[in-house]
Structure 1
Amino acid sequence: MRVLLIAAMLTLVGCAGVSVKDYAEVEPRFDPIEFFNGDFIAEGVIQNRSGAVTRHFVATIDAYWDEERGVLDEVFLFSDGEESERYWEFTRTGPNSWSGTAGDVVGESRLVHDGNAIQMKYRLDVPLQNGRNIVLNMDDWLYQVSDDTLINETIMRKFGFRVGKIILTIRRI
């Protein structure tokens, strides 16, 4: 019985997950006010739940950020010809946290950052090919790797199950 209890506790501790605080000492330090001003290009791939790349994309991003507010105006061009836009608006909620909204985001996103890491969690309303929509839970992790580059990994979930992943880079033009 004790062995089972210890095993269960170790399993729970192992599932605790990573926090942006784990990156507090990692350089370069991300500052949205400093980083997100100007024009950017993003290039990435979308993977299904098996890890197969289903399509890729290029996006342009026009960014503006100050002490209290941030804007990311994104225009996507996908490999299958689809074009879409997302206009993010962020407001400061704390020294290292922001609340964000966008047209296809259900409710609000929460952005937190520390060290070189950023985490955003939000619910995205995604149109399907059959004309219906699905709402996915997005867990976005971005890591600043140089003065001009972020690397992003997003895990997409539905009902707690992983249904896909997005990997991309964001570079200042």
Structure 2
Amino acid sequence: MTTLLSILTGMAVMLVLMAVARHMRGFRAQKPSDYAALEPRIDIRRHLSGPIRCEGVIYGPMGRVTSRFTADMHGRWDGNRGILSEHFIYDSGTRQDREWHLTLGNDGAIRADADDLAGTGHGQQAGAAVCLNYTLRLPETAGGYVLQVTDWMYLIDETTIINRSQFRKFGIKVAELVATMRRIDA
């Protein structure tokens, strides 16, 4: 019995170490400085300005697509303060609007506010990437859950951004979003 207990304890330790290792090299281990040298350099005042078309998918916790969406966005800036309006249409027919109020610091720091956030989001732009962390309150029709969100946006060229986001509850990933955002010439 002692040998079985030792084996089970060893397996539990191994699983914890594997989870920690995966966390350290995974999505959440990225830092904006990892992308500081990459070109082209993103400037949210320019790349999140004007009309933007977005298409994406949301994956559930088991990795299957649970929703598809399109969005029309429009960004407008006055110096380092901007508003990004988003109008989503999901494959279920559900519509959702969000208006981000963004402030860009001279050091690339980002402050983000929206009506469905619990508190203020914070992030950083560096090189070809932007990272934004915030707490999102889902609408009651979607369960009303409060989720921790990490958004990464990667500038591909002057008009295209790939957005990857992870949504977590109690530290456990419950959803992931991948989307393409393309500026539309006005």
If the length of structure 2 is used for normalisation, what is the TM-score? 0.82
Q: Could you say if the C-alpha distance between residues 133 and 144 of structure 1 is closer, same or farther in structure 2, counting changes exceeding 3 Å? A: same
Can you give the 5+ residue segments of structure 1 that lack an aligned partner in the other structure? none
Q: 1:78 aligns with which of 47, 65, 90?
A: 90
Aligned pairs for 1:60-139 within 5 A: 60-129=72-141, 132-139=143-150
Aligned to 1:59: 71
2:181 to 154, 170, 173: 170
Question: Aligned partners of 2:22, 2:150: CA distance in 1, in Å?
Answer: 20
The 8 Å contact of residues 41 and 61 in structure 1, kept in 2 or not, is answered as yes
Asked if structure 1 preserves the Cα contact closer than 8 Å seen for 2:45 and 2:80, the reply is: no
Partner secondary structure for residue 15 of structure 1: helix
> % of aligned pairs identical?
32
Higher helix share: 2
SS of the residue corresponding to residue 21 of structure 1 reads helix
The aligned amino acid for 1:113 is: Q
Gaps of 5+ in 2: 1-12
Q: Which runs of 4+ in 1 moved over 3 A?
A: 11-14
Deviations 1:100-126 (A, max 9, x none): 100111100112110101000000101
How far 1:82 moved relative to its partner? Answer: 0.2
- CA offset at residue 132 of structure 1? 4.1
Structure 1 residue 14 displacement after superposition: 7.2
Q: How many correspondences in the alignment? A: 164
Inter-partner Cα distance in structure 2 for 1:132 and 1:161? 17
Offset, 1:128: 4.8
CA–CA distance in 1 between the matches of 2:91 and 2:175? 17
> Greater CA radius of gyration, 1 or 2?
2
- Counterpart of 1:38 in structure 2 is 50
How much does 1:68 deviate? 2.1
Q: Which amino acid aligns with 1:151?
A: I
What SS is found at the alignment partner of 2:118?
strand
Contact 1:32–1:65 (8 Å) recurs in 2:
no
1:15 to 21, 24, 29: 24
Change in Cα spacing, 1:114 to 1:127, as seen in structure 2 (3 Å) is same
Q: Deviations over 1:1-53 (max 9, x none)?
A: xxx9xxx7xx6797271101010111110011221221001100011001100
2:41 to 12, 25, 29: 29
